[in-house]
Structure 1
Amino acid sequence: MNINTLERHCIKALKVFDWVNSVLNIQLKEITKIKEDKFDDLICCDFQVPCNSKVPSTIWTGLGVENISGTINIVFHCGCGGIMDVIVNGEKLISLIEGASFCATISDLQSINVLCHSPSDQLGFCKGELKMVLHFNPFKNKGSCIDLKKTKCFLSDSCGNPLDPTVPGSIICEELQEENGRKNVGAMLPNGQFVVLQKVKVLKRGFVTVEFFDEKGDIWKKCTIPFSEIETFFLCAPIGTVLNCKITDFDCETYIIPSLDSEWFEMIIFIKICQDIRILGEVKIEVVGNFCEPRRAIEIKKTCSAPIPPSQCFSTF
């Protein structure tokens, strides 16, 4: 090939101006409760039950929720001229006449039923009102103890759902732009050469979730905690270049330090993030060559060979 017949062309290409691999270590300290927080609820409703029913009518039940306690207030407005029995957790506590009310605090509240009686066989309804202030714990590990030596820490979203750290966006990694752009900093290379580098600040942020387990191995408590850290790099990052950040590995460990107060404990979380930091920018490159065009396809014609006569044709009689 004669180089004198080639043409010169300029093309755009993505150039790596600088490239470093680094490990970021983040330490978090959090204080949390050992015991689960209880929930409060206020219930207020009117009820109407038939008179002279042989079966008590349920006006409230805590089906599916454990560890309920609270204060109840029942008012018997009117009925069939008789009395109304108040039954809590299957046990009759009191009989109310019309216009009377009953108030009590129950430590283990499961159900509330009423049974309306009438001195005659007349049909009708007993009407009343129920007011309740409830305190309850919806978690099912009642009676078990938390195992402070058993925890699980992982990268997650803000709702505690696990994330793959290598998927873009699982950990936010972006450059913090300064008002006057990147600052130039002089540096001496190991070979003694003096160079001018740029100061690049990189922000990492995301969420980790820590799960605690009880003695049975069931999840006792879950905490989702945000993290963030700003790193400073000195890179070859001239004007027009951009930061490209890729997370290559992630690790999270949790250590529990019991407090003198039995209600609280301290979590120390160690996060390790392995990252690939590159400074990229478009550059123009001059290349020597000619534009090529596709050639025409070569058609190969297949021909048949001459037939071979049978051997008996050459026999002499």
Structure 2
Amino acid sequence: MTRRRTLILAGLAAPGLARAQQDWPARPIRIVLPFAAGGSSDIAARLIAPRLGAALGQQIVIENRGGGGGNIAAELVARAAPDGYTIFQGNIGVLAINPTLYRSLPFDAEQSFQPIAHINSVANILCVPADRPWRSVAELRAAMLAAPERVRAGNSGPGSIGHLAVVQFDHLAGTRSVHVPYRGGGPMSTDLIAGHLDYAFATAPTVLSALEAGRVRALAIGTATRSTLLPNLPTVAEAGLTGFEVSNWDAWLFPRGTPPAITERMAAALRPLLADPELRAEFTRRGMETMPVSGPAELAASIRAETLRWAPMVRASGATPDG
């Protein structure tokens, strides 16, 4: 095709493209999740979807595509048409940990997507079974130092944020935990509550009811600052491990090439929704918190920073996708 013909065709297509952007959204929008229904990411999407649909005047469809450590869903969206009708709900694992955990990926976490915004965060709480004697991070650390490689720490899978939280804890505390991997946070939390583990950095939604019932004890929260979920609970850093920080988050991203105008309109639609007190209360009741919508550039920078921050920890853990 000659350059002149290419320019002519581009000129003919431009009005149609501009019209499509102006009419967006003209049909339902699909949100692809990398996990099965029922988890915190799925709950977050389903809390937002009806409100966002009402704001945009279109149905928001949730599609769960689990498997492959989240990579199957990520590839699906990376290859989707960049027209504003397919969104990937990625999390810290898929976007910031998998690039180091896997030797190769069918997508590039930084280049395959057009970031929209963070939507929510999920705190990791350092918990012990109620029948264990430890009531502080200092007491747990002392027990671990007294009996190296005897204290069992659960995690939701090799290379998961819960696994890396324990690696970070050991690094800062000078301890050596016995890592016990599970296929997901639900089974791990069940065994923690039953007393089959000594401690774990469990996600808030999986242990809040057990905390309220007194079946597990929270020693600290992994976030950089105290959480509104448990305002009296100190952070791990406050409890003596300076520099400790870990938190799950979810973010929305379009396929790369989605028009900036559509990305900006989606971010603008999300901003008041995620700041709404009623929705924030719904998230809090489920152990999550909405995040302020800062913008595409800020999300891109955050993903890059998280990838660089966790890469050394992933390598130090020796984790592989197969365990």
TM-score, normalised with respect to structure 2: 0.18
State the structure with more CA Rg.
Answer: 1
TM-score, normalised with respect to structure 1: 0.18
- The structure whose residues are more often helix, as a share, is 2
